[in-house]
Structure 1
């Protein structure tokens, strides 16, 4: 069994591993960064710490978030940097009901790039997302063969 933070992105039930999530915050302000990739909305702060705000919709190859101020984000660390992963909704923490399985269904190229696998939870099946892939974004990700 593993604990997951249940999130929603564009109506799709997804999850992040709780070991990677430091906290959850509401985005109050974002300072844009010139020439940043389109999935990087800019910088925000939490308790005097600078966070790079990642638009998970855009990272999944979907249209960018509109009006992100006031939305919730999962705060995570990756390779020594701290990120705020902007999602549509952060639900709750759930236990997995089985082992993580490879994604067997056709879920789309961009979602496949973000997925570490699928798992069953009390809320139904969830796609476990790779934080590294969300941070990298669609432009820098290698094309599937």
Structure 2
């Protein structure tokens, strides 16, 4: 595998996004909250007159702490025709994967198992390759399918 990957940090873990899924990396400006949305949806922001739904990736995984502390940049992605700004701890680099994704080792927890396609080796070290649709769906709630929104 020689696909380009955008390397990020989310909740202290190195994660990879396929570069062809990332249209740009932006500085997050003002985020306007949207009433009655799940907590992992931080709100909406604008990018060149386009509205983006801002996803707090830590909260989307089901962790309690928000990601705004370390980096004010976000990866812009499109899933099912909708555009999202993924708030991550940090955007590290762009690199290539050196092999096909392998199995995710045990001990990462159900949060990561739900969104990880697999573990991939890169030029800067191993990373979890993420399934964007699963990440954007948000955390599972007891008795509901993954990403269910009330």
| TM-score under structure 1 length normalisation | 0.91
In the alignment, which residue of structure 2 is the partner of 1:75?
A: 76
Instruction: Give the superposition deviation at 1:111.
Output: 0.8
| Structure 2 gaps, min length 5 | none
In the alignment, which residue of structure 1 is the partner of 2:57?
A: 56
| TM-score under structure 2 length normalisation | 0.89
Runs of 4 or more off by more than 6 Å in structure 1? Answer: none
Q: Distance in 1 between matches of 2:106 and 2:51?
A: 38
CA gap 1:60/1:138 in 2 versus in 1, 3 angstroms: same
In the alignment, which residue of structure 2 is the partner of 1:43?
A: 44
CA gap 1:41/1:69 in 2 versus in 1, 3 angstroms: farther
| Structure 1 gaps, min length 5 | none
Shifted more, 59-68 versus 83-92: the winner is 59-68
Q: Distance in 1 between matches of 2:68 and 2:89?
A: 11
Q: Distance in 2 between matches of 1:74 and 1:98?
A: 23
1:141 matched to 2:146? The reply is yes
Task: Quote the RMSD (CA, aligned, Å).
Answer: 1.7
Does the CA contact (< 8 Å) of 1:27 and 1:69 recur in 2? no
The number of aligned residues is 142
